[in-house]
Structure 1
């Protein structure tokens, strides 16, 4: 991080970012400052002659003071430069200089240290420069590159831009538009994924682990971590570090070290279990020893109050400054059950760990982490990896999901979240992960004071979170028990191919309970409930189970059996398991006294039929989502982002704290995204009304515009179907007379929408938690009174938009309700798509409301719009890679 005292005027601190490089290590990107002068001289002196020649086209042994002054003194507008810092050393420089002041074309150049080649530094700098340039009006980058500089040519080509190049006088002239494209976004996300997955892989697969704070006393946290590593059979090297013990003192049979620096063979992962006030010094020691990642188990950080929050920020800055990832602080630890690793760097003893299997688990709460692991073990679930983030200062659920995307040993994922640092990124990664592995999430409404964003306890925020999960294909559970109810089903059974369910039981009451629960969760009971006698033997139950599974009208089975004696007959369980194994249909069972995946059978058992059905319905919904067409990201044509940007910037320049846009500004803003708003003509007399009617032509409406009347519908404030000048004049006089006694002012004229139209509204808001949110509903009572609104979170796909329109309860009004003509759905989809892209492109658009929008058979007409702009909140997802702090 840069020292505030060294910052020049106009220094754009928002450009600072921590990034994960291609090798999984962390680096810091920031704008260049004059204080970098000596660092640049040193950087240049350490470069090879070849690198210097490729950058400057000449063998410059030492940069002149004049050149370095020009390099380090920039205006952050026409001349922009970024530096990349790794372990407090300058590792790369990227810059652009506009060819013309304020112009759209800039020359871009990079210089990467010979010692840091191959780590993706040039690609990261290009991403950040392009994003900064786009925000400030640069449209195109150009560069002169020597033919032998293949690495730099590769940086441009591999970024996903459409690169053109010409060979002239021994130099390749490269040029490309920097507007973000599907290809450039795909490249950025792919690189981000590979880097972050590799970073987490290094944390979970260390060759050596040191526990700093491993005490001779067995009742301490450090000693617990150390003993669990040893007892778990970690296949790498384990070191005890205790600066209070005599050198060579044995701890659990291992010699102790006074400092991690004393471990000659090096350490990959360090577990820090020292008092909070000693953590920063310990981090520095780890950096000196070349440690790549930290698990900070120490307490006394953000959960302890303001002083702890300050210490936690320092921990993050210190660790990232040294290029290290951090799990914690206040972390319960991590586990990798891979037989080739057997890493138990946690406070859970081996006896309470689940066996090796396909479940990846993430939890923020340390105390809950213990309960999670024990619950998984009791249910017979196998686990691949586990991490407890504690205060989640760095490594998060997003990082783990990036890792699980590639981890073949993980087949399902469970996350317990108390906060979300980057909801937009979470949604994007979870959606990708859910297409190949089930993702089950429990979200609490409170908890510790970690470094994330808490979903507030309001109906709106909870509904927004639920919709975001549905859009991403994530399975939502209300608590940990429900999470494992779902996991044990997806881990042991095939996914259902439809919503048709068979119910068989030896109890009429249980059958009815199961059927009622199934119908209440939109499952279709097509077989049964079939209830045999409670006294029936195993063979009778086997026959009804077989018949249900063989029924072609059945996609899944709920089997409930209450034994006539106190204990369940193992033959019943085994019999059901054998039949289920012969069919590609899932079974959720209720056997009295059993919960979990029955050992040796693979049949998931639940205490009650309702539990079984709840889990089955959740998995069925996920299976439906998995089979559905998720569509392609919407890309409406005819957009002019620059024009919209100018409207917003002009308004904020006038009122920096935020302002409602004028009718003209709204029309210009929407026109830039291909949305036409019908003009409303204010009139102050009947003569003006008639003149406006003649100008507009066709049928018009006359309406009162006073804000006093906004929430008084049905009071006669509008006159419709006016087709003649005399009718217009008379309507004006009548409405004016009606308004005068109540002191309301304002009458306007507007063209009338076609008959048979359905009034709908489309809105967008910039949510501080989730970024842009787009909503759709039928205007009036459905939206205002019943809250019948569908939400979507850009970027949206065409399938997302179709689902939004079809998901509202008032959707039949759009499809020809009671003989009316169906509206033009494609025109409606296009409008929502344009609003979603507008909201996604411009975070300064705090709120937009299109109402009324008249949808009819021939298209749509936007009759009214309001908009407010405000300083953009810091979005948690940008077009350039960055780790949250």
Structure 2
């Protein structure tokens, strides 16, 4: 990776990013630097005459020193240039130059190496330049393109912007606004998906594998990888590499090589099973051999302390500089059960390897990898692919989900997460994946003190633990508490149809077991509409099959719970077979409990559970997921009347005077909210009773006086507010009364505000910029429901209209908004619109660290925002921004 010392003044290092190109290879995007002179000459010299003409409209064989100086010396504001680096060489250049200093328009141009055409470099450069330009206040790009430059015209046409084209004097003039649109976002996400999916495919579908560190001694990590790959019958070429091997010797029956460089024809995947201190040098060798992806099982990286953390950072920089993806370090390995691949590059014992199936699995630590694979194998649950990310320095669960979106061999996905580096991106990808395949996640916590293993790169969060659960719900993800529950759900959704509704039937040969199953169903929100039907304990196979078939034939049954206890010590296999056959002919799912059985019964697709509660819990999860699938997931909200530039101006002015951040004044807060169509009722701070009376007369109507000290903001009750003041004397008396109460407390600040109409419900809407989650929007009924009961929901922008409705209706105090005890229902449409505006405001402006609207009076005629506070701070680097970038 590039040396960071000696950077020019003002160099925006935050613009640097690693990206995955269209073919799955990794490249590095960074601002151009003055020391790129020779690299620029080399780039230009390698270009064809046609490419040079299309870029400069003239046959320039060599760039002049003056031109090269101008190209490499930019101010990173009015003149910006980016380069895409692949293996230390410039593969593409993009730049914009404002037409007027500080103006809203800029001319944009690109030049992509002939050797790297077709890899999406032009699209990446446009994406990054547009995002940088927006932050600098540029609103529109213009470009002059020759008609025969079809590739560049395609870059502009396919970007998703609304571009106009004019032909004049042999040149096409292209003009387009660079504000993101739904189409441009969809294009960016689609490109990101395809490139990341292909990069993971290179990891899971290699044509050749080298195990570096393979030993003649069997009790070693390298030898275990080599033996497992060979024993599984890997369909590609397998090589053993050991730098101490004597020429002509073999390891595990394979010829050995001293270096991966010695392998003729190169290698696509390398398992780097060498001591941590030797890994970096081995990566250099892999680069020379053309290796595309690495699996690193070695320990001794970030989990081992500061020295290991430094080594892990070097590993990431080195591998990405060579264009490689890395699984690990501290990885348990990968498995691809595709019969055309047969890759077992893992440390799993062959006896514990699950058969070929359709479940995609992801875990992080080796210990969890062992547990996950062993559990799947015991249940007879087949897997398609498996990956253990270890310290997750590069390849993560997000990458695997991108791959599974395209993998027809995978019909359901299970992820055991110990940490999460990019929840915002996870939520976006998981929502898309959940819409076509069930996604089941185990995660005990997120960003907590004890929930993150050493070596995992994570950001801390200030959000409540419930936020992660709400994020999964928003994305349609099924959450499990442990590995057993993950497989309980997986064996159901893979082998049975999804439930059409909440109605269940219960059949059994034990009254006690039937009651237990029915009670469990009701506790999980399922409706028992058939049974429990209990046959006699000594009933035979035919009779039990009959009641199963009757329940499945009932039009009021969507799912079946079948429980059978044998009258003798062992279950009769004929009972299992009979239930399986009856269920196989139905479109309704069934969960079964047979004594001592767990998993998918051999010869059938019937999922069995050791207890009715386990089966019912899995059935309830599948039912909720099916309901989410059938539901309208809405459209992304984008209210009208938004002035993004006005907010940028206010924020820039505040941060100019307070670089570390500050609370906004009432006038500034009002201006920011007004730019997004949110009106805040004026509140005037007064310092005497005479001043309070004067403000009352100006407001013309009933007013309230309230204490504004932050010391009192979380104290319940109405002691700090006087309402219904309709006369100057009442206003003066209220001021004096409040002032007397505040004086002993050392608190000050009294404000006068017009009083809202009586009735309605006081609610709170807030947003915050979280280091881990990014923007988070919260909603609840103000006062005791939030302060005492914590009754508040959170959602993660961008939101859809359905997200907002779910957000409001899912709080426990929601009946208060719907006419509780005769009160008029509030105007839900107005409330939804307010939340939508807050969500878009938070999504658009990461500098808005904390926004709180409280109180907001929701009533039958609309909503009134009576109080607002806002704190801004320098924008953090979001983990999922408007331009593609890999986690660093």
What TM-score do you get using the length of structure 2 for normalisation? 0.97
**Over the residues paired in the alignment, what is the CA RMSD in angstroms?**
1.5
2 CA distance for matches of 1:805 and 1:591? Answer: 42
Q: Which of these residues, 482, 485, 499, is aligned with residue 482 of structure 1? A: 485
Give the corresponding residue for 2:448: none
| 1:437 is the counterpart of 2:437 | yes
Give the corresponding residue for 1:289: 289
Q: Deviations over 1:275-303 (max 9, x none)?
A: 11111111111111111111112111111
1 CA distance for matches of 2:262 and 2:659? Answer: 56
| 1:164 is the counterpart of 2:169 | no
3-state SS of the aligned residue for 1:5? coil
3-state SS of the aligned residue for 1:408? coil
| 1:356 is the counterpart of 2:359 | no
Comparing 718-727 with 12-21, greater Cα deviation is found at 718-727
Give the corresponding residue for 2:45: 45
Give the corresponding residue for 1:84: 84
Unaligned runs of 5+ in 1: none
| 1:772 is the counterpart of 2:805 | no
Q: 1:263 to 1:501 in 2, by over 3 A?
A: same
2 CA distance for matches of 1:304 and 1:704? Answer: 53
Residue pairs, 1:130-209, within 5 angstroms: 130-209=130-209
Give the corresponding residue for 2:265: 265
Give the corresponding residue for 1:592: 595
Please state how far the C-alpha of 1:14 moved relative to its aligned partner.
0.6
Decide whether the 8 Å contact of 1:474 with 1:622 is kept in 2.
yes
| 1:851 is the counterpart of 2:854 | yes
| 1:624 is the counterpart of 2:630 | no
Q: Which of these residues, 860, 863, 866, is aligned with residue 866 of structure 2? A: 863
1 CA distance for matches of 2:848 and 2:689? Answer: 37
Decide whether the 8 Å contact of 2:716 with 2:783 is kept in 1.
no
Give the corresponding residue for 2:805: 802
Give the corresponding residue for 1:508: 511
2 CA distance for matches of 1:33 and 1:40? Answer: 10
Q: Deviations over 1:741-790 (max 9, x none)?
A: 66653332211111212100001111121111111011111111111111
Give the corresponding residue for 2:323: 323
Decide whether the 8 Å contact of 1:455 with 1:461 is kept in 2.
no
Decide whether the 8 Å contact of 2:297 with 2:328 is kept in 1.
yes
Residue pairs, 1:678-717, within 5 angstroms: 678-714=681-717, 716-717=719-720
Decide whether the 8 Å contact of 2:805 with 2:832 is kept in 1.
yes
Give the corresponding residue for 2:540: 537
Decide whether the 8 Å contact of 1:469 with 1:475 is kept in 2.
yes
Q: 1:392 to 1:739 in 2, by over 3 A?
A: closer
| 1:298 is the counterpart of 2:298 | yes
Residue pairs, 1:25-64, within 5 angstroms: 25-64=25-64
Please state how far the C-alpha of 1:385 moved relative to its aligned partner.
0.6
2 CA distance for matches of 1:221 and 1:833? Answer: 53
1 CA distance for matches of 2:240 and 2:250? Answer: 9
Q: 1:35 to 1:739 in 2, by over 3 A?
A: closer
Give the corresponding residue for 1:639: 642
Q: 1:270 to 1:741 in 2, by over 3 A?
A: closer
Give the corresponding residue for 2:830: 827
Q: Deviations over 1:22-81 (max 9, x none)?
A: 111000000111110000011111111111111111111111111111111111111111
Decide whether the 8 Å contact of 2:301 with 2:455 is kept in 1.
no
Q: Which of these residues, 546, 550, 558, is aligned with residue 547 of structure 1? A: 550
Comparing 361-370 with 126-135, greater Cα deviation is found at 361-370
Q: 1:26 to 1:564 in 2, by over 3 A?
A: same
2 CA distance for matches of 1:639 and 1:523? Answer: 44
Decide whether the 8 Å contact of 2:496 with 2:589 is kept in 1.
yes
Please state how far the C-alpha of 1:448 moved relative to its aligned partner.
3.5
Q: 1:676 to 1:590 in 2, by over 3 A?
A: same
3-state SS of the aligned residue for 1:195? helix
| 1:839 is the counterpart of 2:842 | yes
1 CA distance for matches of 2:713 and 2:291? Answer: 64
3-state SS of the aligned residue for 1:602? coil
Give the corresponding residue for 2:522: 519
3-state SS of the aligned residue for 1:585? coil
Decide whether the 8 Å contact of 2:261 with 2:285 is kept in 1.
yes
Please state how far the C-alpha of 1:715 moved relative to its aligned partner.
5.2
1 CA distance for matches of 2:739 and 2:456? Answer: 58
Please state how far the C-alpha of 1:615 moved relative to its aligned partner.
0.8
Give the corresponding residue for 1:560: 563
Decide whether the 8 Å contact of 1:419 with 1:450 is kept in 2.
no
Decide whether the 8 Å contact of 1:418 with 1:454 is kept in 2.
no
Residue pairs, 1:456-495, within 5 angstroms: 460-495=463-498
Please state how far the C-alpha of 1:731 moved relative to its aligned partner.
3.8
Give the corresponding residue for 1:211: 211
Comparing 780-789 with 524-533, greater Cα deviation is found at 524-533
Q: 1:707 to 1:255 in 2, by over 3 A?
A: closer
Please state how far the C-alpha of 1:349 moved relative to its aligned partner.
3.7
Decide whether the 8 Å contact of 1:455 with 1:462 is kept in 2.
no
What TM-score do you get using the length of structure 1 for normalisation? 0.98
3-state SS of the aligned residue for 2:52? helix
Decide whether the 8 Å contact of 1:6 with 1:35 is kept in 2.
no
2 CA distance for matches of 1:252 and 1:589? Answer: 45
Please state how far the C-alpha of 1:697 moved relative to its aligned partner.
2.1
Please state how far the C-alpha of 1:734 moved relative to its aligned partner.
4.6
| 1:719 is the counterpart of 2:722 | yes
Give the corresponding residue for 1:574: 577
Q: Which of these residues, 871, 874, 877, is aligned with residue 874 of structure 1? A: 877
1 CA distance for matches of 2:550 and 2:778? Answer: 46
Structure 1 residue runs of 4+, over 6 Å off? none
Q: Deviations over 1:408-448 (max 9, x none)?
A: 01000001111111110001000100000000011145364
Decide whether the 8 Å contact of 1:81 with 1:95 is kept in 2.
yes
Decide whether the 8 Å contact of 2:639 with 2:837 is kept in 1.
yes
Q: Deviations over 1:702-757 (max 9, x none)?
A: 22333444344435432322334454344444544555566653332211111212
2 CA distance for matches of 1:447 and 1:649? Answer: 36
2 CA distance for matches of 1:642 and 1:859? Answer: 27
2 CA distance for matches of 1:756 and 1:231? Answer: 75
Please state how far the C-alpha of 1:683 moved relative to its aligned partner.
2.7
1 CA distance for matches of 2:125 and 2:847? Answer: 25
Q: 1:9 to 1:820 in 2, by over 3 A?
A: same
3-state SS of the aligned residue for 1:357? strand
Residue pairs, 1:219-258, within 5 angstroms: 219-258=219-258
Please state how far the C-alpha of 1:698 moved relative to its aligned partner.
2.7
Residue pairs, 1:436-455, within 5 angstroms: 436-445=436-445, 446=451, 448-453=453-458
Please state how far the C-alpha of 1:810 moved relative to its aligned partner.
0.8
1 CA distance for matches of 2:712 and 2:456? Answer: 45
2 CA distance for matches of 1:97 and 1:6? Answer: 25
Give the corresponding residue for 1:607: 610
2 CA distance for matches of 1:246 and 1:731? Answer: 95
Number of aligned residues: 883
2 CA distance for matches of 1:660 and 1:352? Answer: 58
1 CA distance for matches of 2:672 and 2:802? Answer: 26
Q: Deviations over 1:314-353 (max 9, x none)?
A: 1111111011111111111111111111111112243321
Give the corresponding residue for 2:280: 280
Q: 1:820 to 1:444 in 2, by over 3 A?
A: closer
Please state how far the C-alpha of 1:664 moved relative to its aligned partner.
0.9
Q: 1:207 to 1:741 in 2, by over 3 A?
A: closer
2 CA distance for matches of 1:27 and 1:281? Answer: 21
1 CA distance for matches of 2:190 and 2:808? Answer: 31
3-state SS of the aligned residue for 2:654? helix
